[in-house]
Every structure is written in structure tokens, then in C-alpha cells.
Amino acid sequence: MESSSIPASTSLRVPDTVATVAANTLWLTEKTTDLLQRAPGSAVVVRYVQSSYQNDPIRSVVELLLFLLAVRYVLAPQYSPRKKGNHVELSEKEVDELVDEWTPEPLIEEQPELVQLSENLPVLHKDAPSGPRTKLRDGRTVINLASYNHYNLSNDQQLVESAVSTIKTYGVGPCSAPGFIGTFDVHMKLEKDIAAHFGTDDSVVYSQSFSTISSVISAFCKRGDIIVADRAVNFPIRKGIQASRNIVRWFDHNDMGDLERVLAKLVSERRPLTRRFIITEAISENVGDMVNLPRLLELKHKYKFRIVLDETWSYGIVGRTGRGVTELQNVDAANIDILVGSLAGCVASGGGFCTGYQIMVEHQRLNSPALTFSASLPTFLATTASAVIDRLQSSEGAKDMATLRERIDSLRTQLDRSDWVTCTSAPENPVLHLVLKDQHIKNRRLTRSEQEFLLQECVDECLNNHSIIISRLKSMPLMDGLHPRDVEKEYQPQPTLKVCATAALSKKEIEKAGIAVRHAITAVMKRSKWQRGTAPEA
Amino acid sequence: MSSNSKDKDNRRRRRSSSLMYQEPPESLEQQSDQAVLPNLNAQWVNAKGAWLIHIIIILLLKIVYDIVPSVTQETSWTLVNITYMFGSYLMFHWVRGIPFEFNAGAYDNLNMWEQIDNEDQYTPAKKFLLAVPICLFLVSTHYTHYDLAYFMINFLATLAVVVPKLPALHRMRLAFLNPEPQPTDQ
């Protein structure tokens, strides 16, 4: 207050303007302080500021800085660090250049030749029977060795009649997911039948065989969990692994030594305790051979992993009552933590199942995407599957399986005589995978796609000259959006021919068919087109 | 699954010897998983009453410590301050991921502060959450009569929750101050 008199005394020496400015400033400060003091709550602030300056300016400065930081933070404008990194400013010219450079993709893309090949399929007649003898659209009768209907149960009169009567009672589609109103008594009976067949606690039935294993994997694994999988696992397993976003390690196909190496390495790494799974197939879809289950279980127990076993290609086929590899190799199904199988194929129904401990099964009912989001199995398929499972355990089923084994042996004996191909399937597998012998691939320098073309010629030759339908392995579509360079790095099964044995043909007929397939392969291999690189034969 | 992404992941892996590292941006796969559902773990900070609860908790803590016999005002305010800072550090900066299972662990590498408002900086919720500990510090240091020992304890506790909230330390991880990162390799 007393300082207001200073300008007056100094005004004699300094110019008048300065004196006026100074006086005005002081007057303004006074006014503001006065106003501030009149504002409500200002006394508190003044008291706070006065008391915080306790003869310690450093502490006050620290507090002031902290306060200023808060003020600065509160006043700063909002921004997103995510968007910041991606945004690129383009000039008008650059935009024009980009527009000029752009060429639209064709609406319908030109298919690669190999895909066109796969689309060139034989078309059946509209009244063609589904058995081993069928009719093409051009009226020709052919033998179908490309069907998984190994026991020809889909033409069994009794099963067809019971399916029809189920449709009359329940209708065709259940029209709802199992967790909603899609579960009927027949579904519950089927689940009990499967569990009784395996001797497990409980089981759950899926409506599609393909999505069963994908869905089971994603119900149990999440990001951070560890999966050790066979390099040759089928496409739905790969999709399941991909969808569950976990850490994957691959081991060489059915190589238990390599599996042990991978497991030992994983265990030795210091990792947080997460769920750990070994995923493999009982009978491989891509190669056809069989897993060594006792050894797998040994490793599982040693390294404390859980097993997910896909019995899609072995259920109903191997084992005394068709229970799959667990029965064949004398392993208690209770040792397999998650056992998945298929009711499509030789069971002549549809859908898939997962069986094991009660708690594992119950978890899926709410957590498995395919169970919660898709309609349940049509009821007539459920009753058919139940009937077939009963049949498998009866003397009739035993007779079917014995016949199928004989047919497989007959067919295989014929195909094994071929100089050009070898069979990679297990002796029990009715799907015979024929791959070109290494020496021929090497001598003729056949690339993967050339092998596919060659095998497709074999398929065509069989159909055109011998009236037998066989097929190629087409179970691994290329990954979408991958560069061909990266596709090479991914696992791709060796191109194979698939010849499916069936119990519905007599021994003579299947032998004849085997000989025909063998001759067809020989005929193609001797074509001049595929002779390049070979030394002239002596 | 492609080998290409494998190499990338390996390159990004944290070396255990480094004291400080920045959490890399999520892979495209992880980002799409994050976008599947709203982040229920971090959304509530913008909900009604979520701001008021901080004030209420602070007042309740004060009452609780005042009830304890032979606790002076100085100790009481310091305890309130430390408890609040400890709790909020644990909640916002120590624990990572989401305790519930709804997006396959897509946020496993981010703590809650980083999950709030989809990683945006200077959002209203973040401004409030930064202002609260600073105000609490100014108040508590006032009532502890600026005793040097109390001042230091309160000040360090405040720094521990204020510094990690700054945008410059977004996704930064210091050894000892953060739990070990999840292995994200392929």
C-alpha cells in the first residue's frame, strides 16, 4: 500500500509516461487483489499459500511445479497415439499420382490352373445310387472308390427306414442351438451312447464334423497357452489353432523323438504356468498313417501336457468295436483328455463329437462357438448315429469290419505292386494314400504342382478308361492372402491319390479295381509328357 | 501363423537384460480381437459415479485412520495418501490384462491405464485421475505441516502414480516397477 507513493516522488526524474504506466499497473494490481480477496473461498487459498511457504522455498517450488503439471495436463488437447503413427499427409499431386497408378482388380479373378483342375469333377446322375456302384450324368455306371461310406451303411434298409420315421416324428431340422431349444431326447441318447461306447463320463455332439475340432480347440485355449501340434495336422485343426491365438510349436509328423525334443525344450524355458496341449490325429488325414498312442501318453505324462486327439478318420474304422485308435492300441480312453471324433463318413450320419471327463464336456456347452452359435444336429442323423454305434458293437458290425479289413488288404496288395507309387496309409486305414515314389520324383524333377497335375491325369485316366472314381488329396487349401513365397514355408502335404476301400464290393471286384488303378497310374507315368529327365530305359 | 509374422515377433521380443523397454504395438490379429467387444474392464472409468467414488474412498480412508487411537493428524493424512496411491498404482499400473474372459487375452500386455479410452491421451477421465492424486498430495502435505519426513514420503508416493500416467511413458516398462511381460513369441 505504501509503495503507491513512490511513483510520485520519482516522477521528477523519469518521464511522465513511465510514471503513469507504473502508477496504473500498481492500481490495477491493487484492484485485482482486492477483487480476488472478495471472491468466495479466496481466504482459504491465501491462507494455504501463506502457510505452505514455511521458510522453505524449495518445497513450495516443488508443490507449485506439481500444480502446474496438473494444470498443463488438464488443459492439453486430447489425441490418440494409435492414429498418430498411421497418418501420412499427402499433397494434391501425390494423391493424383496414386489415383493414376491404381488399376482395379477384376471382379472375377482368374483362377490358378490347379484350382481349375479341382473343379473338374465327375457329375453324378440325378437318380444315382450312393453306393459303391453309381451312375454318371452321361449314363455310364462307375465304381466309386472316392467315398468314405466304407460299410455302405447309407444304403442300409433298416437305417433308412428308421431315419424316415424319425423325420416323421421330429421334422428335419432342430432349428435351434443345443443350448437353447435345439436339444432333443435323441441328442441326449446319442451323447450317452457315445460315452458308453468309449467308457467315458460324458460326451457332446456337434452338428458338423469339420467345425468340431476347431471349435473344441478354441473353447479350451486362449492367447498365451501353449500348443504342440503335429506338422501334418488337418485343416480344421489348423483353423482352430489359428482362431485360439496361442503359442504353437510343431513337431515332425508322427515323430515321437522330435515331439520329445520340442516338449523338453518348452519345459526347460521359464514360462508362466498356462494350459499346455499336444494336438495330433489318430489317423492322419493328409498322410494316412497312425499315431503311436502309448508312446504319446508316456510323453504327455512325463512333461505334463494334455492331449487333444482327433479320431475323425479312425472312429468306426479301427479297433474291435470301431472305437478308434484307443481300442486298437489298448489305451484307456480316460487317458485322452479331449477326444474328438466324427459321425460323418463311415458312420453314415453327420456331425462330430467330443468325449471325455464330465467337467471338460460341460465346459464346452457354453464355451464352444460351434455349440452355442449353430443349430444342433438334425434329429434323424442323431438316431442314425445311435443305431450305427449299436451296430458297431454287435456281431453284424464285427462282420462288417472284418470284411472291410479283407477288402483293404486285397486292394492294397494290388496297389503295392505298382512300380510308381507307394502307399503311406496305415494297414488298417481304408483310405489308401498313394504318393509317387521318391526316385521318380527325383529322376523326372517333378515339382509339387507338376505332381498334382500328374495325379489328376491318373484320376481322369481311371474314370475315362476304367470307370473308377478315385480322388486326389485336396484337404489343405492354401492360406488366404499369403504370398507364394510364404506358402512354400508353410506345411503342405505331399500330393497323393486317395483310393477308398469299401466292404460293399466283393473281393474279386475290389481286386479288379485295384489292378485297374495300378494300370491307370502306369499308363500316365509312361506318357511322353511325363518322361522328361528320365534316362532311356534299357 | 505365417512365417513372416514369426520373424517379426521374434525381433520384438524383450531381452531380459534390458531395464527399460517399450511395449510394441499389437499385431493386427490382436488389434482385431481388441475391437471385437468394448473393453468392459476399462470402460467403467467413464461411468456415472466413477469419479465421485475416488473422493468418497479418500474420505472413508481418512475416517478409518482417524478412528484408530493414537494416530496423529500427520500420520493419518500420510496413511490416507499412501493407501490411495498404493491402491491406484496396483490397479492402474501394475496389473495387466483383463480379469474376465471375453476377448481371448487381447489386452494381456496392457495395464489398465493404457486400456482406458482406447489408449487416447488427455481424455477427461485421464485428466481427472491425474488431478486427484496431485490434489490429495497438496492437501495431505498441508495438514502434515510440511514436516520434511512426511513431505518426502507423500511426495514420492505421489510421483509413483503421477509419472507413469504421463503420455511420454505410455507403454514404457521399467524392470522392478512392472511385472515380467508375457511371452508373445510364436
- Contact state of A224 with B2 under an 8 Å Cβ cutoff: no
Picking from A53, A60, A73, A479 by the largest number of B CB atoms within 10 A of its own CB, the best residue to mutate is A73
CA distance A383 to A162: 8
Nearest CA in chain B to A487: B2
**What's the residue count for chain B?**
186
CA distance B23 to chain A (A): 13
- Contact state of B104 with A52 under an 8 Å Cβ cutoff: no
- Cβ-based contacts of B170 with chain A (< 8 Å): 81
CA distance A66 to chain B (A): 7
Please give the mean pLDDT across all residues of chain A.
Answer: 87
Q: Lowest-confidence range among A271-280, A381-390, A529-538, B111-120?
A: A529-538
The predicted model gives A227-249 an average pLDDT of 91
- Contact state of A62 with B155 under an 8 Å Cβ cutoff: yes
pLDDT for the residue numbered B183? 56
Report the side by side order of strands in the sheet with A141-144.
Answer: A133-135, A141-144, A468-469
Query: For residues A201-212, b (16+ Cβ closer than 10 Å) or e, as one string?
Result: ebbbbbbbbbbb
Reduced to 3 states (helix: H, G, I; strand: E, B; else coil), residue A368 is coil
Amino acid letter at A438? D
Per-domain residue ranges of chain A: 2-74, 113-144+396-530, 157-393
Please check the confidence at residue A227 and state whether its pLDDT lies above 70. Answer: yes
Q: Which residue has the higher pLDDT, A138 or A296?
A: A296
pLDDT for the residue numbered A537? 45
CA distance A501 to A410: 9
DSSP letter for A180, please: T
The shortest CB-CB distance from A248 to any of B145, B182, B186 is to: B186
Picking from A63, A68, A72, A223 by the largest number of B CB atoms within 10 A of its own CB, the best residue to mutate is A223
**The two domains A113-144+396-530 and A157-393 share their CATH topology (first three levels equal):** no
- Cβ-based contacts of B103 with chain A (< 8 Å): none
- Cβ-based contacts of B115 with chain A (< 8 Å): none
- Cβ-based contacts of B155 with chain A (< 8 Å): 62
pLDDT for the residue numbered A285? 93
DSSP element (H, E) containing A327: helix A325-328
Q: Which residues contact A221 (CB under 8 A, 6 or more apart)?
A: A227, A241, A244, A246, A275, A277
- Contact state of B122 with A490 under an 8 Å Cβ cutoff: no
- The share of chain A scoring above pLDDT 90, in percent, equals 59
Q: Which residues contact A461 (CB under 8 A, 6 or more apart)?
A: A520, A521, A523, A524
CA distance A505 to B182: 57
pLDDT category of residue A29 using cuts at 50, 70 and 90: confident
pLDDT category of residue B106 using cuts at 50, 70 and 90: confident
pLDDT for the residue numbered A57? 76
Is A251 within 8 Å of A229 (Cβ atoms)? yes
CA distance B76 to chain A (A): 19
**pLDDT tens digits, B32-41:** 888 888 888 8
Q: Lowest-confidence range among A107-121, A499-513, B163-177?
A: A107-121
- The share of chain A scoring above pLDDT 70, in percent, equals 90
pLDDT for the residue numbered A107? 79
CA distance A373 to A207: 11
pLDDT category of residue A13 using cuts at 50, 70 and 90: low
Is A228 within 8 Å of A251 (Cβ atoms)? yes
Indicate the Cα dihedral angle A211, A144, A452, A126, nearest 10°: -70
pLDDT category of residue B169 using cuts at 50, 70 and 90: confident
pLDDT for the residue numbered A42? 78
Conformational region of residue A418, where left means phi above 0, alpha means psi within -120 to 50, and beta covers everything else: beta
pLDDT for the residue numbered A87? 67
Please check the confidence at residue A492 and state whether its pLDDT lies above 60. Answer: yes
Please check the confidence at residue B23 and state whether its pLDDT lies above 80. Answer: yes
CA distance A221 to A365: 15
SS (H, E, C) chain B: CCHHHHHHHHHHCCCCCCCEEECCCCCHHHHHHHHHCCCHHHHHHHCCCCCHHHHHHHHHHHHHHHHCCCCCHHHHHHHHHHHHHHHHHHHHHHCECCCCCCCCCCCCCCEHHHHHHHHCECCHHHHHHHHHHHHHHHHHHHHCCCCHHHHHHHHHHHHHHHHHHCHHHCCEEECCCCCCCCCCCC
- Contact state of B146 with A76 under an 8 Å Cβ cutoff: no
- Cβ-based contacts of B134 with chain A (< 8 Å): 66-67, 69-70
pLDDT category of residue A519 using cuts at 50, 70 and 90: very high
Angle CA A459–A461–A467, to nearest 5: 90
CA distance A225 to chain B (A): 10
Picking from A78, A269, A488 by the largest number of B CB atoms within 10 A of its own CB, the best residue to mutate is A78
Pairing between β-strand A141-144 and β-strand A133-135 as defined by DSSP bridges: antiparallel
The predicted model gives A297-322 an average pLDDT of 94
CA distance A462 to A102: 47
ipTM for the complex?
Answer: 0.84
- Cβ-based contacts of A217 with chain B (< 8 Å): none
The CATH code that applies to domain A113-144+396-530 is 3.90.1150.10
Picking from B122, B153, B154 by the largest number of A CB atoms within 10 A of its own CB, the best residue to mutate is B122
Q: Which of A281-295, B31-45, B86-100 has the highest mean pLDDT?
A: A281-295
Grid cell 500500500 is found at A1
Please check the confidence at residue A401 and state whether its pLDDT lies above 90. Answer: yes
Fold (topology level) of A157-393? Aspartate Aminotransferase; domain 2 (3.40.640)
pLDDT for the residue numbered A11? 46
- Cβ-based contacts of B26 with chain A (< 8 Å): none
Please check the confidence at residue A19 and state whether its pLDDT lies above 70. Answer: yes
**pLDDT tens digits, A169-226:** 999 888 899 988 999 999 999 999 999 999 999 999 999 999 999 999 999 988 889 9
**pLDDT tens digits, A427-463:** 999 999 999 999 999 988 888 888 888 998 999 999 9
CA distance A392 to chain B (A): 39
pLDDT for the residue numbered A4? 46
pLDDT for the residue numbered B151? 86
Please check the confidence at residue A398 and state whether its pLDDT lies above 50. Answer: yes
Of A413, A433, A431, the closest CA to residue A423 belongs to A433
**pLDDT tens digits, B28-77:** 888 888 888 888 888 888 888 899 999 999 999 999 999 999 888 889 99
pLDDT category of residue A343 using cuts at 50, 70 and 90: very high
Is B126 within 8 Å of B165 (Cβ atoms)? yes
> Nearest 5°: phi and psi at A357?
-70, 150
Q: Which residues contact B155 (CB under 8 A, 6 or more apart)?
A: A62, B137, B141
CA distance B121 to B171: 12
Nearest CA in chain A to B151: A59
The shortest CB-CB distance from A486 to any of B4, B185, B186 is to: B4
The predicted model gives A290-294 an average pLDDT of 95
Please check the confidence at residue A535 and state whether its pLDDT lies above 70. Answer: no
Q: Which residues contact A244 (CB under 8 A, 6 or more apart)?
A: A217, A218, A220, A221, A222, A223, A225, A227, B104
pLDDT category of residue B134 using cuts at 50, 70 and 90: very high
pLDDT for the residue numbered B4? 40
Nearest CA in chain A to B171: A81
- Cβ-based contacts of B162 with chain A (< 8 Å): 66, 69
- Cβ-based contacts of B33 with chain A (< 8 Å): 223, 245
H-state helical runs in A13-171: 16-38, 42-52, 57-75, 81-86, 92-101, 113-119, 157-170
- Contact state of B183 with A81 under an 8 Å Cβ cutoff: no
